Amino acid sequence: MAAGGSDAPRVEDAATLAGVPDAFQRLWTPHRAVYVGQGQGAHDDDCPFCAAPGRPDDEALVVARGEHAYVLLNLYPYNPGHLLVCPYRHISTYDLATPDEVAEIGALTQTAFRVLRAVSGAQGFNTGMNQGSVGGAGIAEHLHQHVVPRYAGDSNFFPIVARTKAVTQLLGDVRDAVAAAWPDARPSSAEGGATAPSTDLDSEAS
């Protein structure tokens, strides 16, 4: 309680609290609490990547929908704008993808680069697929490609240890900005996505 009966919370000086200071600063990430608490479990019976296309875009953090694949924000981003490109089919590894799925995953990934550069000024990217649990896949049962925008002095491991401050953004705000900038974007945040519309990416390839 604050002094004088005020309802406003009192801010306490950290120097008066228990603790042993060290050379590290802390990057607080409460949004990862569920991930840390539950760990990486199997998702065969309730695959989030199978469920997402059937939900409204804003709820599922879906950015764009193609005919064979779609794009959504990672719920546990390494950087703001960390996207995942997923086929609609529940397949576990890249070699199981059809030629059409491979082509569209590639096209959506290219468009993701262009959109993230335009929206957030991304200076580089990490992109790739972790295949299988032993390969580092968090959800190994459903293929997904990571597109991680990178910036000078961003929140990778070494700058954090070197006391670089990470500036975070709300997932909903990032989704809205990326979805609005996506070519041939369709307003669908108030609609369910049971049927995946095709996405014309040809104009962006020039």
pTM of the model: 0.67
Written as six digits, the tokens of 96 are: 């199981």
pLDDT in tens, 141-176: 999 999 999 888 775 554 445 444 454 678 888 999
Looking at residue 163, which CATH number applies to its domain? 3.30.428.10
Strands 69-73, 83-87: pairing is antiparallel
Inside any domain, residue 60? yes
Strand partners, 71: 64, 85
Question: Residue 159: what pLDDT?
Answer: 46
Task: State how far the Cα of 177 lies from the Cα of 206, in Å rounded to an integer.
Answer: 23
Strand partners, 87: 69
Task: State how far the Cα of 176 lies from the Cα of 4, in Å rounded to an integer.
Answer: 43
Lowest-pLDDT range of 21-30, 71-80, 97-106: 21-30
Range of the domain at 176: 44-182
Residue 46 has pLDDT above 90, yes or no: no
* Side-chain half-sphere exposure of 31, counting CA atoms within 13 A: 11
Inside any domain, residue 3? no
pLDDT in tens, 76-111: 888 889 999 999 999 999 999 999 999 999 999 999
Inside any domain, residue 117? yes
Q: How many domains does the chain have?
A: 1
How many other C-beta atoms are found inside a 10 Å radius of the C-beta of residue 4? 6
Inside any domain, residue 27? no
Calculate the average pLDDT of the chain. Answer: 75
Strands (E), the chain: 62-65, 69-73, 83-87, 124-128, 145-150
Question: Residue 15: what pLDDT?
Answer: 54
Inside any domain, residue 116? yes
Catalytic residues: 144
Inside any domain, residue 194? no
pLDDT in tens, 184-205: 754 444 344 433 433 333 334 4
Inside any domain, residue 197? no
Inside any domain, residue 38? no
